[in-house]
Every structure is written in C-alpha cells, then in structure tokens.
Amino acid sequence: MPKVFYVLIVVAGLTMVVGGFFLWSSVSEDLGDIIPAVKMESPENYEIIETDEGISVENSNIGLKFKVPEGWKAEKQELQLNQWAISIYSSDVKIGDDGMLSDGCGFSAWVEEDEGGANAVRFRINDPEEYSNEINGIYEAIQVDGRSALKMILSREGWGAVVGVKVPIEDRIIIFDTLFRPNTEQRCSQEFNQFLEQVEIE
C-alpha cells in the first residue's frame, strides 16, 4: 500500500493539537519535515498470527489483541524512522489521486508512549462536548473492551470523515483510526464498529 495512505494516521493523532489543519490542507508526503517524532511501539512487539480461523494481531507488551476482518489483510507499516503501525485493509481497497482511500475500507492501529498525551485523552473523555470546540469535529466518550476511550470524528461534506479512537492505558495510548469516503461510509463504518467490538485489552 502507498505510504501516503497512512497519512490519515498522523491526521487523527494530531488533531487534538492542530484542530484538523493537516486534514483540510495539502499534506506533504515528506512527513518527517512537518510532524514531530512520537515514540511508538516497535514492530517486534506486534505479532500477526494466521490460522485456519483467520488472522489476528497481538501486542503482548501492552496486552492488545484484535481480529482482522475475514478476507482482509494486515501488515506492519513504517511511517517514519522507528514509527510503526499495523495496517488492516479490505481486498478491494484503492487509492485515489489525492493519495487517500477512494474505495474499500482500511484501518490502522498503533501504540504511542506518551504520558502527557494519555492524560490529555482522559481529560477529553471526561468532558468530550467541551473539548470538541478545539477541533473541526466532535469528540465522544465510548468503551473499548470495557475501557474508557475517546472517539474523534472529523468530517467534511462531499469528502468523507476521519474517525480516530484513543484508549489511554497508564502512560500509553492505543490508537485506532480510519477514513470513510462518501461512497463507502455505510459499509466501512459498520466494519469499523464490528472491529472495535472484538478488540481485547488485558
């Protein structure tokens, strides 16, 4: 998959700070020039397991496990030097001229080590409506495997929506995000919700 597809990961991770600037602006493919380094879990901590029952991903370092939707693929993706995420995508995924998803569904998952960021997520979980004023979208407090999480939705008519979910675990943050385009929003939204329902966090 083209690296630029994974810029939506960065968008969802930074909107708390920049209010969606990168989403609505032209995004440089040279991410290292515009995005500060974030300490993320190393690829060795992720294990992609294939069995007769399907594909699952585990990160025993933080106690994370999730299933990959049937017929989908999962791979480790290096975003920048020493910054890794797991990319999960359907077999019909396509990239448009804008470098973003144009068809099919795709999710990303990764873990950040950031005590300040984890605390910021907790503040927003406690009062999502108040903090929604800082972004061009909305925050919602949800549950992922019984744990408090923050859901962020940034949308623009005719373009689609970026959805990110952050789960604070002590001084780390488990992050899932996705991009819904208008032609796939109903299908991919349902797939994303079902995906989150199967996430396990010890």
Cβ(71)–Cβ(79) below 8 Å: no
Cβ(63)–Cβ(202) below 8 Å: yes
Where are the chain's structural domains?
A: 3-201
> What is the CATH architecture of 3-201?
3-Layer(aba) Sandwich (3.40)
pLDDT value at position 85? Answer: 87
Residue 48: Cβ within 10 Å count: 15
pLDDT value at position 78? Answer: 80
| Helix locations, 19-83, DSSP H | 21-24
Cβ(47)–Cβ(64) below 8 Å: no
Q: What is the pLDDT along the chain (202 residues), one digit of tens a residue?
A: 444 344 444 444 343 333 333 332 333 333 344 445 568 888 889 999 999 989 999 999 999 999 999 999 999 988 776 778 898 999 988 877 766 777 889 898 999 998 999 999 999 999 999 988 888 789 999 999 999 999 999 888 877 888 999 999 999 999 999 888 888 899 999 999 999 999 999 9
User: Cα–Cα distance between 126 and 149 in angstroms, integer?
Assistant: 10
pLDDT value at position 26? Answer: 31
pLDDT value at position 14? Answer: 40
Four-residue CA torsion sign, 99, 103, 109, 112: positive
pLDDT value at position 162? Answer: 87
User: Cα–Cα distance between 69 and 192 in angstroms, integer?
Assistant: 9
